[in-house]
Structure 1
C-alpha cells in the first residue's frame, strides 16, 4: 500500500495490486466505472449520425473500457487481499457463470481483522 502514515492516492486505489481495501471503496470504485461507461455509451448513442463526434466518443468508450478492466482487476486483487486470499483469484471475474457470484461475495464478505500477509490493518489510525 502507500507508505506508512500517508493517505493512499487515487492512482494506488485504481491501478495498484498491492495492499488492501474494504467493501465500500470496492463497491464505490465499481460504481464509478459503471457510470463512466454508461455516460460514454450515452454519448456514442447521442452522436450516432455525426461521424466526427461519434469517432471521438467511441474512442473514449474503448479507452475507458480498457482502463476500467485493468482497474477492476486491481480492485478485486486488493479486496481479495483484505479477505486474506491471493490476488490471482481475481481471474474468476472473467468466468461468466462465476463472475456475478464472485462480485457479490467481494462486496459482502468482511475483511480480516488486523494485519494479514498482504498488509497492515486498514482500519488502524493514520499517523
Structure 2
C-alpha cells in the first residue's frame, strides 16, 4: 500500500492486492467497472451496422472486461483483508452460485476496527 501519510493512488485501489479497503470504496469501484462495461456495450449496440466501429467497441469491451476482472479480484482481496480474512477467498467471486452472496457480504460486512494482520484500517469512507 501507500507509505504512511500518503494518499493511496487509483492504481493501488484498482490493481494492488495489498492493504485494506472499506465497504463504500469496494462498492463504488464495482459500480465504476459496471458503468464502463455498460457504456462500451451501448456503443456496440449503437454501431452494430458499422463494421469498423463495432470491431473497435467490441475490442474496448473485451479489454475493459479483462481489466475489470483483474481489478475486481484485487478489490475483493483488499476487502477480505479489511474484514480479517485471507485474500485467496476472493476466488469465491468467480463461482457462479456463490458470487452474488459473496458480493453482498463484502458490501455489507463491516471491517475490523484498528490494526489487523493485514495492516491498519483505511481512513476513507465505508467503515
- What TM-score, normalized to structure 1? 0.96
Structure 1 segments of 4+ aligned residues over 3 angstroms from their partners: none
**Corresponding residue for residue 122 of structure 1:** 122
**Corresponding residue for residue 73 of structure 2:** 73
Q: Does structure 1 residue 64 correspond to structure 2 residue 64?
A: yes
In structure 1, the gaps of 5 or more residues are: none
Once superposed, what is the RMSD of the aligned Cα atoms?
1.0
What is the CA–CA distance in structure 1 between the aligned matches of 2:41 and 2:53, rounded to whole Å?
13
1:97 CA displacement: 0.6
1:123 CA displacement: 3.1
What is the CA–CA distance in structure 2 between the aligned matches of 1:86 and 1:58, rounded to whole Å?
35
1:46-97 deviation per Cα after TM superposition (whole angstroms, max 9, x unaligned): 1001011011000000000000000000000000000000000000001111
1:101-121 deviation per Cα after TM superposition (whole angstroms, max 9, x unaligned): 000000000000001110113
What is the CA–CA distance in structure 2 between the aligned matches of 1:95 and 1:36, rounded to whole Å?
23
**Corresponding residue for residue 108 of structure 1:** 108
**Corresponding residue for residue 87 of structure 1:** 87
Q: Per the alignment, in what secondary structure is the counterpart of residue 113 of structure 1?
A: coil
Q: Is the 2:21–2:121 Cα contact (8 Å) retained in structure 1?
A: no
